[in-house]
Amino acid sequence: MIKYYTRACNFYYGLDSIEKIKKKLSLPLNANKLISFDNIEIINKKYKKKIHISEVNKQSNKIKKKIKKDIKLITKKKKFKGLNFLNFPILMGVINLTPDSFSDGGRYNKKNSGFNHARNLIKRGSKILDIGGESTRPGAKSVNKITEWKRINKTLKKISKLNTFISLDTRKSWIMEKGIKNKVNLINDISCFEYDENTLNVLKKNKIPFVIHHMQGTPENMQKNPNYKNVLLDIYDFFENKIKKLRSLGIKHNNIILDPGIGFGKNLKHNITLINNISIFHSLGFPIMLGISRKKFIKDLSGKNDSKERLGGTISSSLYAMTQGIQILRVHDVNEVNQSIKVFKALNFK
């Protein structure tokens, strides 16, 4: 049986979007008039075909039914405990309290530097703080739970008093439970709850929001010849199957975020394919998070023009993701990315 996938495409932004919606020439993404689309790309393993929204009723019954079902999910307003996606994208600021993270290891794990960094991220526009004590860069090895907790303990407890939305980046159920006691709002496990089998019990017991993150392999081996039949559709299927599994285990709430895991078991071609077609995941009905900040694909594309910080590539890919309706961007350089978003939005309303 042929499986079909749908991807919202041909987006409009700002005043263009508002005018298109008013004339019924486009449909709002997530009930937000500031971004809309007028084409659906129907995809299967063998072909792609773009269909204008005015042509949907002319398709075969099977394809018409599929498109209409997915359009309901794509256009529906996203409700999420503690977050408002109408003013998107929301910026998730990174707080790495590790000595060996790929871009800022060791910068914020001494004395009050992590807490001070958290306050600066909030001041510069971060609505979510993602705190972690274990590096998951390519080649990184796991650290024991005691070491990981010692790295984040004091900073997390201080941050919990700032009245901000806190994400906990960990693969360990023991750390998750301690984090939840310290007012963590979101669990961000890059292994998608495969590393520690008890993590699913923690999710079920606490009914806490979480990220479904895709990774092929483990941090130690994920970049050793990653392979997919079709990276875009394989990851879509992964999300769909994981959601079904979680539902079967009794985890019924909809406070779920999808992250395709750029750089986590993907080569350059995989990463570019995902970013180019990122709007396909809107048809799953959950908000999408993208972590493109300072990633290696920026170096691969810019070559000799690469810099250590990779700020230019982070900004350009962030703006591209925003115009595809991505709700959350996980970034290190919050001030600079936030500035670029403000300017982009202003230019689209002139």
Kindly list the catalytic residues: 295, 330
Cβ atoms of residues 78 and 325 within 8 Å: no
Between CA 323 and CA 17 the distance in angstroms is: 11
What whole-number distance in Å separates Cα of residue 155 and Cα of residue 95?
Answer: 10
Q: H or E stretch including 89?
A: none
How many helices (DSSP H) and strands (DSSP E) are in the chain? 11, 12
DSSP-based three-state secondary structure for 23: coil
295 three-class SS: coil
Contacts of 47 (CB under 8 A, 6+ apart): none
- Edge-to-edge order in the sheet of strand 186-189: 256-259, 210-213, 186-189, 165-169, 128-132, 90-96, 328-331, 289-290
Give Cα 307 distance to the centre of its chain. 24
At residue 315, the 3 state secondary structure works out as: helix
Cβ neighbours of residue 59 closer than 8 Å, sequence gap 6 or more: 42, 51, 67
Angle at 49 (CA atoms; ends 43, 52), nearest 5 degrees: 115
- Close Cβ partners of 301 (under 8 Å, ≥ 6 residues apart): 268, 272, 313
Find all residues with CB under 8 Å of 11, minimum gap 6, and list them. 17, 29, 35, 36, 37, 279, 323, 324, 325
Q: Shortest CA distance to 97 belongs to which of 82, 79, 110, 78?
A: 110
CB atoms within 10 A of CB 273: 16
Collapsed DSSP state (helix, strand, coil) of residue 257: strand
Which phi and psi angles does 101 have, rounded to 5°?
-65, 155
